[in-house]
Amino acid sequence: MENRQGLPTVVWSPEPAELPAPRQGEVHVWKLVLPVSPKALAGCEALLSEDELLRMGKFVFEIDRQRFAVGRGSLRRLLGGFLGVAPRQLVFKLDPGGRPVLADGRLARKIGFNVSHSGALVLLAFAAQADVGIDVEKLDREVDADLIVRQAFSPEDQDAIAQAPEAERRLEFMTRWTCKEAAIKSTGAGLGVPLDSVRLDLAKDRETALIGSRDGSAPSVVAIMRFGPMEGYAAAVATEAGLDRPRLRFWDPRAGEP
Ligand SMILES: CC(C)(COP(=O)(O)OP(=O)(O)OC[C@H]1O[C@@H](n2cnc3c(N)ncnc32)[C@H](O)[C@@H]1OP(=O)(O)O)[C@@H](O)C(=O)NCCC(=O)NCCS
């Protein structure tokens, strides 16, 4: 099923009493919508490390503080639950591309995770024993789409966007952008990877991205799924492509609330 913007909609399940850890071959996406209640915010803040509290305190706007606290606090709560570790005891480090990963290699091999935020949404993705990347963008975000397309998109992307009916061009751009960002984020490589080195194949049931390498080694292939997480947003999640497509599950602690 597609939403008003033409993106596949997903069914968000409420959080069950026992945390559902992703199994092999599964990717789980969690949705958090801002603002949260003062109680929920305090619960997230209570899980943050000293460094994270300092980082949170540096944001000028309350909404940015809240976005960070909810994202990082929920990440700690969920990872801690999946791994059987107290959330505050988890230690993160940045890998060379700037991606936060678990510092304990034994735990890091058990579960891959990634975070993305835009506007009122924070999305967290988890995969058992696999890398995962996620990206969400608010569709009305002010960006110079023409400039990004000209400077950072491949001729194939440019053609696909130009050929879309005028009313759908913005969505085609945002969809391609989130797919490429999710693919790059799944590898952990940061700003060093140009968007036009990612070739998208968005054929139905077989969405993949091919990430070219600069050193002549074989390109990596990742499986992608794009979706509409909420009206007015586009998102994509990417993970290492195995023989089978990953099974996706979507969780929203507030699903079903009035
Ligand atoms: C750094 C980058 C991953 C951030 O993406 P963004 O859309 O600005 O922000 P998002 O909210 O989606 O993601 C931010 C989160 O990604 C994670 N992240 C940071 N660096 C990362 C990396 N190299 N790989 C994967 N995840 C990363 C962090 O968890 C961060 O949140 P946190 O700081 O609160 O922990 C992204 O800009 C990037 O490097 N893209 C590469 C492609 C490119 O050139 N893009 C330019 C677009 S014109």
Cβ(135) to ligand 1 under 6 A? yes
Does 257 reside within a domain?
no
Number of domains in the chain: 1
Measured from the Cα of 189, ligand 1's closest atom is 23
**Confidence (pLDDT) at 240:** 85
CATH number for 223: 3.90.470.20
Does 115 reside within a domain?
yes
Angstrom CA distances, 254 to 12, 35, 73, 131, 251, stand at: 9, 12, 16, 27, 9
**Confidence (pLDDT) at 36:** 94
pLDDT band at 167 (very low <50, low <70, confident <90, very high): confident
Does 20 reside within a domain?
no
For residues 232 and 211, give the distance between their C-alpha atoms in angstroms, rounded to a whole number: 28
pLDDT above 80: residue 242: no
Measured from the Cα of 191, ligand 1's closest atom is 39
Mean pLDDT of 61-78: 97
**Confidence (pLDDT) at 218:** 74
**Confidence (pLDDT) at 6:** 66
pLDDT band at 161 (very low <50, low <70, confident <90, very high): very high
Measured from the Cα of 71, ligand 1's closest atom is 34
CA of 116 to the centre of ligand 1 (A): 7
Angstrom CA distances, 195 to 12, 149, 159, 211, stand at: 30, 10, 15, 9
- The percent of residues in the chain predicted with pLDDT above 90, rounded, is 66
Of 92-101, 199-208, 233-242, least confident by mean pLDDT is 199-208
- Our CA angle for 188, 191, 82, nearest 5°, is 25
Does 228 reside within a domain?
yes
Does 80 reside within a domain?
yes
**Closest C-alpha residue for ligand 1 atom 14:** 116
- Residue from 93, 113, 116, 173 whose mutation best tests the ligand 1 pocket (most atoms within 8 A of CB): 116
pLDDT band at 3 (very low <50, low <70, confident <90, very high): low
Q: Nearest Cα to 240, choosing from 225, 224, 226? A: 224
CA of 178 to the centre of ligand 1 (A): 11
Residues of the domain holding 56: 26-251
40-57-124-18 Cα dihedral, nearest 10 degrees: -30
Mean pLDDT of 74-87: 98
- Residue from 123, 126, 173, 185 whose mutation best tests the ligand 1 pocket (most atoms within 8 A of CB): 185
**Closest C-alpha residue for ligand 1 atom 27:** 99
Cβ(193) to ligand 1 under 6 A? yes
Does 256 reside within a domain?
no
Question: Phi/psi at 250 (nearest 5 deg)?
Answer: -125, 125
pLDDT above 70: residue 4: no
Strands, E, within 85-194: which ranges? 92-94, 100-102, 111-118, 121-128, 132-138
pLDDT above 80: residue 104: yes
C-alpha 192 chain-centroid distance? 18
pLDDT above 80: residue 190: no
Does 1 reside within a domain?
no
Does 45 reside within a domain?
yes
**Confidence (pLDDT) at 2:** 67
CA of 181 to the centre of ligand 1 (A): 8
Measured from the Cα of 118, ligand 1's closest atom is 11
